[in-house]
Structure formats: C-alpha cells, structure tokens
Amino acid sequence: MKAERIRAITEGIGRARILILGDIMLDEYLFGAVSRISPEAPVPVVEITSSRRQLGGAANVAANIRSLGDEPMLLGTVGEDEAAVMLTQLLKQRNISSEYLVNDKSRQTTIKTRVIAHSQQVVRTDREDRHELDDDTRSRVFKRFMAVADSIQAVIISDYGKGVITKSLLEQVIEVCLQKDIFIAVDPQDTHFHNYRQVSVITPNHLEAGFAYGRRIVSEADLMEVGTGLLKRLQAKSILITRGPDGMSLFQEGGEPTHIPTFARKVFDVTGAGDTVISSFVSAVCAGADLVEASIVANVGAGITIGEVGTATVTVPQLKQELERNIKNGNLAAATTRIAHG
C-alpha cells in the first residue's frame, strides 16, 4: 500500500451514508481500586472512584462511523426505560440521530457494566432481554430500513445475538441490498453464522470462524480450510478473519488469501475492537479502497483502539498518521509481500 493510496482513501472517507442495523447497548464502566478481600466471600472489594457510560454494540459502530466523518444511521430497538434515555443523550452528544430507533415495550435496553480496577476488568454484569423481535416490531424496523434504503451506500449488520437480527429480517434486508447494489458488512454472532449469505464481507474472529465451520483453527492449514470453506458455503464476496496478535486474513471471491500482520503497538483493552474493524473497513470501501486496502485500514484502526481502555473510536487523521508511520517502518511493505505470496 503506497502513500498516494493512503492519501486518496483517507481523503475520500467522510462522504458516505452508512446504515447500522443491530443490537444497541449502553456500556457502563465503574473504575476503582482493590485494597482488600471481602469478609463475606473470597472476592476483591473494589472501591469505586469514577464511572463512565458509553455507546455500545451497534451504537458503538455508529460512533465509529461518525468519528471517521461518515454519516451513521443507527437502526435497532431500545426499551422504554432510563437506559434508553441515557443512550439517546449519548447519541445526541455524538451528533448521531436517534430517529431510527424503535421502542420495544417487551424488552429492556441492554446495559453491560464492567468493573475495572488497576486497569484490569474484574467482573462484567449484563442487564438485557434476548428474545427475538415479534412480527410487529420486526415490521417497524424493516419499514424504517426501507425508508432510507435509496440514500445509503452501505449497511453494517452488528449482531450480538440479543434478538434484533432475526433470520427473516436479515433475509429481507440482504435481498434489498442485493437489488440496490448496497455494500453489506456483517459483524457476526456465531449461532447465526449460516444466515449471512451473499453478503459483501463478514468479519468473524478466528474462534467464531472455526466454530461456524466446525474446525478449530490451530494452524495455517486450518485457517485456509476454514476461510475458503466459509466463503464457498456462504456465497460471500469476502471474509475477513481477525486473529488477535496474528493480525487478519482476508479471503475473497476470485482472489488469493491475504494475510496482514497486526500493527498494534500496545494492548490495554480489546473491548469494541471488532466495531472499529468493521467501521474502518466499510468507510474505506465507501471511499474507494479495494478489499485488501480496506483490510489494512481496518487492521490499523483496531491497533489504535486496543491501546485505549474501554470502547474507543478512531479518526481519519489518526488512521492517516498510523498508516504513514507503518509505511516508514516497513510494515505495509511486509503486508504487501504477504499479499503477493498468499
């Protein structure tokens, strides 16, 4: 990847309208310190010193898209509760519209609470309902999707298995996207994997990919079998398998597998890294990047966010700076060598 392509792609980001459909969450962080063990049970007592609430799940994907400069359209359900009010306020602060949110009285807004002491997560608690949308709510969600389908360049399916992404809704959305030539990206939930057919890209981690294919990835041979096998099974245009410290591997229709090393310099927290991967990838594609270039951009974006505690977002200047730094130290040359030799 050369400097002129980095310039062209980063200058092109910020002009697309991208719809994010999926499970919307509120992330809560409680920060503190541990100085003793509880006399009631053998557990640490965390003395809370501060707290923070952030957008999570599909809402964090929308925050990533907004941070990159593109226009996010967040579509999903929330309850009629205090968490939904807080979520709406956080969206407003990020300049993300809440007009596409669908209220569902039958469920509470998902809240994930993480207790962090000395930069380490001690425990996580979840408050949520995971039943599938009823027919009426699904119909309202699809109606809002159809209202904007002619004005969007891409759809990101952010599936956390909380009930919003049903098989019937997914089939309807994919059918419309294929008819209108809308780029479809999926951040998958492993139990729904085989419903994501004919999409443009799907971004599982290596554990999700191995589970979906029925083969654990412990070697390069396993990776090749799983990647090419899933590509064929799902009739997808591409699959981007994230591999933690081993980087990413891109499998695409009609092309050779591409292995891209990680560009992360430090790892504090992987929370939300998958959201940054899919957001950066889609924004880059909308800006004219090919799939390999988009994978490199996504890899760099993930490397930035895992250096922060809690869900984080990246900006175009950060991406450009980190891409240029990797050109100077030869990392991108190494990536293109891997591309050439598969």
* pLDDT band at 287; cut points 50, 70, 90: very high
Q: How large is the average pLDDT for residues 106-123?
A: 94
CA distance 119 to 268: 8
Domains of the chain: 3-25+56-110+128-341 (3.40.1190.20)
CA distance 281 to 286: 9
Q: How large is the average pLDDT for residues 110-123?
A: 94
pLDDT over 60 (residue 29): yes
Q: How large is the average pLDDT for residues 33-47?
A: 95
Cβ atoms of residues 59 and 84 within 8 Å:
no
pLDDT over 80 (residue 131): yes
Q: Report the chain's mean pLDDT, rounded to a whole number.
A: 90
CB atoms within 10 A of CB 125: 11
- Give the model confidence (pLDDT) of 141-193 as tens digits: 999 999 999 999 999 999 999 999 999 999 999 999 999 999 999 999 888 89
Tokens encoding 65: 């898209």
* pLDDT band at 233; cut points 50, 70, 90: very high
Q: How large is the average pLDDT for residues 303-310?
A: 65
Report the pLDDT value the prediction gives residue 47, as an integer from 0 to 100: 96
Q: Is 275 a catalytic residue?
A: yes
Tokens 């090749």, residue? 224
CB hemisphere CA count around 96 (13 angstroms)? 30
Report the pLDDT value the prediction gives residue 137, as an integer from 0 to 100: 96
pLDDT over 90 (residue 16): yes
pLDDT over 60 (residue 336): no
pLDDT over 90 (residue 224): yes
* pLDDT band at 341; cut points 50, 70, 90: very low
Report the pLDDT value the prediction gives residue 325, as an integer from 0 to 100: 83
Report the pLDDT value the prediction gives residue 327, as an integer from 0 to 100: 76
Report the pLDDT value the prediction gives residue 264, as an integer from 0 to 100: 55
Least confident span in 214-218, 251-255, 327-331: 327-331
pLDDT over 60 (residue 127): yes
Q: Which of 27, 181, 275, 290 is catalytic?
A: 275
Cβ atoms of residues 24 and 109 within 8 Å:
yes
- Give the model confidence (pLDDT) of 42-100 as tens digits: 999 999 999 999 999 999 999 999 999 999 999 999 999 999 999 999 999 999 999 99
**Cβ contacts of 245-253, under 8 Å, gap ≥ 24:** 246/206, 247/299, 248/277, 248/295, 248/298, 248/299, 249/223, 250/291, 250/292, 250/295, 251/227, 252/291
Residue 95 is given by DSSP the state T
Report the pLDDT value the prediction gives residue 269, as an integer from 0 to 100: 43
Q: What does pTM read for this prediction?
A: 0.91
Question: Between these two residues, 263 and 197, which has the higher pLDDT value?
Answer: 197
pLDDT over 60 (residue 266): no
